Amino acid sequence: MNTNLGFGDRLAQAMKSSGQLCVGIDPHPGLLQQWGLEDTPAALATFSEKILDAARGRVAAVKPQVALFERHGSEGFKVLEEVLAEARQLNILMIADAKRGDIGSTMSAYADTWLGERSPLSTDSVTLSPYLGFESLRPALDLAQQHDKGTFVLALTSNPEGKTIQHVGQTNSVAKQIIEAATEENSRQGFETMGSCGLVVGATVGEALRELEIDLSQFNGPILAPGYGAQGASAASLFATFHGSESQILVNSSRGILRHGPCVEALIDSIELANSDLLKSNS
């Protein structure tokens, strides 16, 4: 993989070579228990290592859920640092699912944490919340471009509460304005295949896309789509939802894959089955 390319182009390469699946690293207490692990930092490390072992060369990216490490305090963050470093060694693209959003110097600090080259938590990309205004994310957007990294901005999510903000304005909705701003951001930057400012759009929001008259086929970056498998979206319905932008969809699966652990071979089988399902539905 050419590391001199921007994040979007590197992700496009990974999706072409390894498929469009992103596996979550989500050490929920209940899932740790299901795996026969205690709810401790040491167990988080074991859990994460098994997922990375199964994911290597088989997925486009992995997505650690930051809050589930953060709840263990400094020891949890230390494990997350090690997970990010190991994924980097394995040449697996990473998305830190931190959903950060703030203003001014505080946003700059968040940007440095996740996208700065000297930070022990530095990763390939990070999820961001734009609800203090899209331009409040400017420190992260600029730092990502500077270091060939990426961002995924929350745009249209599947949780029922999301519509109280995201749907406001209907055909000129908040969600639509965020998508348009991200499109403009990518247009300002150079890229070969797709831009590095991505979106988070739930895999089950097809009806909302129609109601809000949002056309994602005009978007020029990656779209992280959580909700495949355990959360209700089939591969066929997912690609129907994102008709016109199929090649840009990074399909996230967490519980659907992780419930097959702790056996690495079973995790691999689950990943390969999901990859086959996605490929068949997008061919």
d(CA 52, CA 58): 10
Nearest alpha carbon to residue 24 among 212, 240, 267, 277: 267
Of the candidates 253, 226, 201, the one whose C-alpha atom is nearest the C-alpha of residue 51 is: 253
Distance CA 264, CA 251 (A): 21
> Range with the lowest mean pLDDT among 13-27, 172-186, 224-238?
224-238
pLDDT in tens, 68-84: 999 999 999 999 999 99
Residue 189 pLDDT: 87
In the prediction, which pLDDT does 129 show?
A: 99
Label residue 2 by pLDDT band (50, 70, 90): very low
Q: Which pair of tokens denotes residue 262?
A: 């702790």
Q: Domain 7-281: which topology? A: TIM Barrel (3.20.20)
Per-residue pLDDT of 106-118, as tens digits, reads 999 999 999 999 9
Q: Which residue is catalytic, options 63, 99, 149, 176?
A: 99
99 is catalytic: yes
User: In which residue are the tokens 């020891």 written?
Assistant: 75
Secondary structure E strands in 138-196: 150-156
Q: How confident is the model at residue 231 (pLDDT cuts 50, 70, 90)?
A: low
Q: Identify the weakest region by mean pLDDT among 98-112, 195-209, 230-244.
A: 230-244
Cα distances from 193 to residues 10, 74, 180, 275, in angstroms, run: 9, 39, 18, 22
At residue 230, the pLDDT reads 67
**Alpha-carbon distance values, 164 to 21, 61, 199, 281 (Å):** 30, 31, 19, 32
Question: Of 65, 82, 70, 76, nearest to 31 (Cα)?
Answer: 65
Query: In this prediction, what percent of the chain has a pLDDT beyond 90?
Result: 94
